[in-house]
Each structure stands twice: as C-alpha cells, then as structure tokens.
C-alpha cells in the first residue's frame, strides 16, 4: 500500500527485507544508514535482543528526492529471521510495497533459505499479497564466504520468477545499493501501471 499524499506531494513506500536468521538483513540497512547523506536519513530504530538479533524489526526512513514533483520516501524494515518469530514477521509485511529476499549463500543455509521463501509466500498471502506479483528482488548475500554455494546452484533453487538477482557482501556494502535500487525500480514501475 503506497501512501500518496497529494497535499504534501509525497509518496511513501514500505520495503521489507526478508530472509533466514543471520542472513544479513540488518547489516543491509545498517550499511545504508551509515552511508546515507545525513539530511536524507532519519533515525535507525532497531528492536533487537541483547545479542543483536532482530526481535521485532529494524526501521530506517530515507528521503530519496523527487519523481514527477513528488517527494519519494522509503521506509525500510527488516523482519526477525529466527523461525519462532513468525507472528512478528507476518505483522511487518502488512501494507508493504516491495520485498527484498536476502539469501545466505553459505551451503549449510540452503535449506533455511528455501524454507524462508516458503514462509514469505504464506505470510504475504495472509496479508493479501501474491509472492508472484509483488515487487521483489533476490539478493545473494555473503558471497565472500569460503563456504558460499555457487551462484548457479543458488539461482536454480531460489529464483522463481525471473526477479532481479544481485550478489552482495552486505557488511562491506557490496550490492547493497544495487539491491535497493532494483526494488525501487519495480515499485515505481508498478505504481505507474496501477
């Protein structure tokens, strides 16, 4: 649900980072927060456990500039990836405009990625969305790990709708902005269709 305010000429888009525990969702938005121009970013709100695992969500508002005279603002959210936080994940997807699936490239996490995509499909459906049509980008994170599975294998297992696929090393910022940009493109193109 995009919120278009004709009075203040603003568009607000909600983008959700999804994926299994420790795949690097929070790292993505932390990197964006550290790099962003101070006038463009708001506060990074992190509801996390003592051990820095996301407990409810991370939230970062970003002012992106204007399109067609409208101020575009992104609201970035991450979900908690740990399996037992499912109720919270479902809540965070409410009213989202686009989803970034952050996959953990490590071979040992293949199954966790697949399960998380299935979980995303279910939770999107319960919020009235369809995983096959919502703006969606696949990020293959942790490409620097020696245990990373080959890109081709990941693609075969995780890519299901010809969505943009971006390789990343989130803690070094590699691929982070490209991922966000690919998502923004899909959302704005979607907006022009509807």
Ligand X SMILES: Nc1nc2c(ncn2[C@@H]2O[C@H](COP(=O)(O)OP(=O)(O)OP(=O)(O)O)[C@@H](O)[C@H]2O)c(=O)[nH]1
Under the rule (CB under 8 A), what is the footprint of another protein? 1-8, 12, 14, 42-43, 45, 47, 56-57, 59, 61, 64-65, 67-70, 72, 75, 87-88, 91-92, 94-95, 127-130, 133, 177, 180-181, 184-185, 188-192, 194
Parallel, antiparallel or unpaired: strands 10-18 and 3-5 = antiparallel
- Identify which of 169, 88, 96, 104 has the alpha carbon closest to the alpha carbon of residue 129: 96
Task: Report the C-alpha gap between 1 and 95 in whole angstroms.
Answer: 5
Q: Which is nearer to ligand X, 139 or 186 (CB)?
A: 139
Shortest distance, position 163 Cβ to Mg ion, whole Å: 22
Place of tokens 């969500």: 57
Q: Looking at beta carbons, which residue is closest to ligand X?
A: 81
Task: Report the C-alpha gap between 31 and 21 in whole angstroms.
Answer: 18
Q: Which does 150 bind (CB under 5 to 8 A by kind): ligand X, another protein, Mg ion, none?
A: none
Residues 36-55 that bind ligand X (CB under 6 A): 52-54
Phi and psi dihedrals of 15, rounded to 5? -120, 130
β-strand partners of 13 = 74
Shortest distance, position 32 Cβ to Mg ion, whole Å: 14
Are 179 and 168 contacting, i.e. CB atoms less than 8 angstroms apart? yes
Q: Which does 7 bind (CB under 5 to 8 A by kind): another protein, ligand X, Mg ion, none?
A: another protein
Looking at the chain, list the stretches that DSSP marks H as alpha helix, in order from N- to C-terminal side. Answer: 25-35, 86-92, 110-126, 151-158, 176-193
Q: Which is nearer to ligand X, 18 or 74 (CB)?
A: 18
Shortest distance, position 88 Cβ to Mg ion, whole Å: 12
Residue 170 touching ligand X (CB under 6 A): yes
């Amino acid at each position: 649900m995009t919120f278009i305010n004709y009075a203040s000429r603003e568009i607000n888009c909600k983008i959700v980072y999804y994926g299994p525990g420790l795949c690097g969702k929070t790292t993505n938005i932390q990197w964006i927060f550290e790099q962003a121009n101070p006038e463009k970013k708001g506060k990074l709100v992190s509801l996390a456990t003592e051990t820095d695992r996301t407990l409810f969500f991370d939230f970062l508002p970003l002012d992106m500039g204007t399109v067609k005279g409208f101020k575009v603002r992104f609201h970035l959210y991450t979900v908690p990836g740990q399996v037992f936080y499912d109720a919270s994940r479902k809540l965070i997807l409410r009213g989202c405009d686009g989803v970034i699936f952050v996959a953990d490239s490590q071979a040992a996490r293949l199954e966790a990625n697949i399960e998380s995509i299935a979980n995303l499909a279910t939770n999107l459906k319960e919020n009235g969305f369809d995983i096959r049509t919502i703006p969606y980008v696949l990020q293959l994170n942790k490409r620097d790990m020696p245990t990373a599975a080959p890109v081709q294998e990941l693609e075969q297992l995780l890519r299901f709708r010809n969505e943009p696929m971006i390789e990343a090393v989130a803690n070094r910022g590699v691929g982070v902005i490209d991922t966000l940009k690919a998502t923004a493109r899909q959302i704005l193109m979607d907006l022009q269709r509807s």
